[in-house]
Amino acid sequence: MATVTLSEAEKVYILHGVQDDLRTDGRGCEDYRGIEVETDVVSNTTGSARVKIGHTDILVGVKAEIAAPKLERPREGFLEFFVDCSANAAPEFEGRGGEELGTEIANMLYKIFDNKSSVDLESLCILPCEHCWALYIDVVLLECGGNLFDTISVGVKAALFNARIPKVRVLEDDEGTKDIELSDDPYDCMRLSVEGVPCIVTLNKIGHRHVVDATLQEEACSLASLLVAVNSKGTVTCIRKMGKGSLDPESIFEMIETGKRVTKSLHLSLQSTLNQEESAGKKRQKIGFLR
C-alpha cells in the first residue's frame, strides 16, 4: 500500500481534527470525497469503468468468454479477478510489492463475491456441465491516493453494470449434436443485475473515532482499519480487519454499523448516477455524497 511520512505535529493535527469531526479537507468523519465514474471506456471489453476518488484512479475491464463450468458448480458461470498494481501508481509497487498487493486485493474480491447473492451466476450458464460464461475482471491501478479498496469496489460494480454479454442460442441437429450461436446484434445482449454486488467501505480508526474514505495522510495516522463489504440490501458479505493495531469489540460493532449506514448512501448514489448516465448517453458523471 502506498504510504506517506508525517511528522508528529502533523499527526496530532489530523488526530485533533478527527476528534472534532472536522478533517483537514473540511469533511466530517462519515463523508466521502466526490467520486468520478466513467463507463464504457475500453472498446475491446464486455464492460468497463474508470473511477476516481481523490487522487486514487483505477480502471476496470470485464471480458466475457465461453468456458467450461467449475466441477463443483456445473450449472453456474464464474468470475476471475486480476489486479495490476504498477510501479507508475506508487514507487512502493515496484517489484514484488505490487504483486503482493494485487494478489491481496484479488483474494479480497473473491471472498466478497463468494456467495449467491452478489451475482446471479446461474444466469451465466449456457449448457449445464458443458458451457458457461466466465467473466474475467481486470483491475488496473493508475494512481494511488488512499482508500484503494473502496475505489476498486465501486469500479467493479460500475463495470459489471456496463457489461453487455451476447445472447446465446443453442442449436441441436437431428443427431443430437449441439452448437452454440452468438448473436451479432450488439443490442441483443444480456445485462447483469448488480443489485446484489457489494461495495466496500473502509473505516480507519484514528484516535477514539473512525473515518471513511481516508486520505494517505489519514491512513498514516491509523494503526487499524476495518473493511466492510455491504450490498444494496444491507447484507454484509465480508468483514476484514487490517493494520497492525487492535480493535476492541465495541469499536468493531460501531464501525460495522457505520459501514452499513454509509454504504447505503453509496449504493443509492452510484446506481442513480449509472442510470442517469445510461439514459442520457453520457460517459462521465460525478457522485456527490452528503452526510
DSSP 70: P
- Average pLDDT over the chain, rounded to an integer: 89
Residue 267 · residue 232 · CB < 8 Å: yes
**What residue ranges define each of the domains in the chain, with the CATH number in brackets?**
8-287 (3.30.230.70)
Cβ neighbours of residue 267 closer than 8 Å, sequence gap 6 or more: 199, 230, 231, 232
pLDDT of residue 263: 95
Please write the tens of the pLDDT for every residue from 168-225. 887 777 666 777 777 777 677 899 999 999 999 999 999 999 999 999 999 999 989 9
> Strand 78-85 and strand 131-143: pairing?
parallel
Q: Tell me which residue has cell 514484488.
A: 96
State the average pLDDT over residues 29-51. 93
pLDDT in tens, 251-279: 999 999 999 999 999 999 999 989 887 87
Enter the pTM of the model: 0.89
